[in-house]
């Protein structure tokens, strides 16, 4: 049954990670680690004037499911706001833990991981990319607020 988790689409996403690497001059960086399995995502972002993600890079060391989630995030993240990410994260958690349908809109592609709900040991690894991206975006907003206060 676990073989059903590793569909061709999931394996393709895992193998072709969009925006892999690090940014030379990020405004915000986030790192998230799944303590159970050690999956890790480090994300750098630059925001545009409206606070949307204008540039993005991710360094992800995770299982195929974590890599696949990072692949969906990488395909969909440019132009996203912190609110978009929060909504997607919350919908993803509801999908994994409470039978929710999963994210809609920009991050609807994360629904491909719906079957992971049946494997609690895999939940944390599927969350590292979105959590790190949200953390990076919040860090960028905080940095801008500090700069504005210093001016």
This prediction's pTM: 0.92
Tens-place pLDDT, residues 108-144: 999 999 999 999 999 999 999 999 999 999 999 999 9
What is the residue-averaged pLDDT of the chain? 92
Specify whether the CB–CB gap between 110 and 103 falls below 8 A. Answer: yes
**Cα–Cα distance, 121 to 23 (Å, whole number):** 31
Q: What is residue 45's three-state secondary structure?
A: strand
Burial class of residue 63 (count of CB atoms within 10 Å of its CB; 0-12, 13-18, 19+) = middle
Q: What is residue 86's three-state secondary structure?
A: helix
**Residue 100 DSSP symbol:** -
How confident is the prediction along the chain (151 residues), in pLDDT tens digits per residue? 455 666 777 777 777 899 999 999 999 999 999 998 899 999 999 999 999 999 999 999 998 899 999 999 999 999 999 999 999 999 999 999 999 999 999 999 999 999 999 999 999 999 999 999 999 999 999 999 887 777 6
Q: Residue 115: which residues within 8 A CB-CB, separation 6 or more? A: 4, 5
Angle between helix 64-76 and 123-150 (nearest 10)? 40
């Amino acid at each position: 049954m676990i073989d059903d988790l590793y569909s061709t689409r999931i394996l393709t996403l895992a193998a072709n990670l969009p925006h892999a690497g690090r940014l030379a001059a990020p405004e915000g960086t986030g790192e998230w680690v799944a303590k159970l399995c050690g999956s890790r995502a480090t994300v750098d972002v630059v925001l545009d004037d409206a606070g949307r993600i204008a540039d993005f890079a991710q360094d992800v060391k995770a299982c195929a499911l974590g890599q696949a989630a990072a692949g969906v995030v990488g395909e969909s993240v440019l132009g996203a706001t912190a609110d978009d990410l929060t909504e997607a994260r919350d919908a993803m958690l509801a999908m994994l833990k409470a039978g929710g349908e999963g994210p809609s809109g920009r991050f609807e592609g994360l629904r491909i991981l719906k079957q992971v709900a049946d494997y609690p040991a895999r939940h944390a690894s599927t969350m590292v990319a979105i959590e790190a991206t949200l953390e990076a975006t919040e860090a960028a907003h905080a940095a801008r607020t500090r700069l504005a206060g210093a001016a």
